[in-house]
Structure 1
Amino acid sequence: MQFLFLGDVVGEMGMQLVARYLPALKKEFKPQVTIVNGENTTKSGRGITQKLFKDLMKAGADVVTLGNHAWNNQEIFSFIDQTPNLLRPLNYPGQDVPGHGWTQLNVNGTQVAVINLQGRVFMEATDDPFAAIDQLVTELQAANVNVIFVDFHAETTSEKKALGLFLDGRVSAVVGTHTHVQTNDPQVLAHGTGFLTDAGMTGPATGVIGMEYQPVIQKFLTARPNRFAVQTTGAGILSGCVVNVDAHTGRAKKVRTILIDQDHPYQNV
């Protein structure tokens, strides 16, 4: 079983890259499940709208995950409860959190769970991601759901790797998002969990993690607040990964990264 995953889609350019390349990538890799992180898809780079969610699904996503910008666009509260394949982090605090932190798919008779989780180090306060995922995975395993994919939206490499090792052998894959920089560590951990610290981003390549670089530099120079805007011109980048999983055992066989940019052109479009 193949999982195709695209890292944080940023702004209009990110959406254009998804529309252009995702159908071709699906044709090449033939994934059974395609997951896209869409928490930065709006023009401002913060949040998602119902139209953007539908556009990602139309381009080929089966599940759209979010992260710390899930609530930045108020429109989400009008539709997230009715869209089980749009996931906000499982460990958001509160008793009546809108939406869903995970979803279950039937893939040719195999039950597959996709989970969205958010880290706590250098991030907004949330409930403990380790405790939340531990409880849910225990429940899924009791229900004989062995194929489990986790998008861990977190800042630090240490927290992401720690979660991967914590879940090693219990889930099929842990793939990190949020930093917008693809890491060079695709691997299968000792007990069969596929792992990648960060899938990277899909969007403008010439700014600072998708934003125009001049305001960012000014903030570093002056230590004063500045208004950031998504880069809308220049080259683009598409980042993600493919995880091959044994559908019977839920163990990963291989993790490989996907990178499309000026230095790594994609020929199959």
Structure 2
Amino acid sequence: MPKFTQIDVFTDELTLGNPLAVVHDADRLADERLAAFARWTNLSETTFLLPPSDPAADYRVRIFTPGGELPFAGHPTLGSARAWLAAGGVPKAGHLVQECGAGLVRVRRDEQDRLAFAAPPLRRSGPVDDADLAVVKRGLHLADADVLGAAWADNGPGWVALLLRDAATVLAIEPDFAALGRFKVGVAGEQPAGAETAFEVRAFSDTVEDPVTGSLNAALGQWLIGDGIAPESYVAAQGTRLGRRGRVHVRRDGEDVWVGGDTVVGIRGEVDLW
């Protein structure tokens, strides 16, 4: 039977981050089996580790939500890397290279020994047109004055990102998922002076709020740092309204934006999928 690991990502304490289910040695499993198991775990994502097809990669990962497969996602990248390392994986180079639907993603340990991934290039960026923005604002019950900026921030999942006037506005949102329709929306607002973190972040996708979202924070970092809105290095809080304590460490290093966080192994075992 393949090994199974469950990781809590973007937290240093189990139950306060975003959980990820990881199935190791999944190359014998049919696509239908992968999708069925992801539906059964009912987590935001479940990943399956396979041998790489690219010789530059250390492993290949397939990322499934209960509704389908994603080319890339952030917390599954960090959680899969932690699970692979915890199972005895040894990177070929000084850093780890993950192969996924979006290509090769580098993962390294930062100065505080946290895992961090290099944000992949955005598939879509730039302004959100007025009609789409009106739908998003209506779905989040936001007034025009609440929104300081909006941009496409799509690195795989398809995020529309909003910068709101402050963290309190972010935390006050009561989303109408039916009104949001097809849009996956991430919002960020600056914290008050002296706060532990620089931004409060929330993510709304497919009728649920995601606890802590690596792909969104990666795209937000590329946008906010690139436009001079955020400093070169900052920490974002996410999951507050859900009773979580997610902490996402974002840093620009040369041409790359790195997104990192603590990871905790919660469950180790085997899963009867063969």
TM-score, normalization: structure 1?
0.26
More strand by share: 2
Name the structure, 1 or 2, with higher relative contact order (CA <8 Å, separation 6+): 2
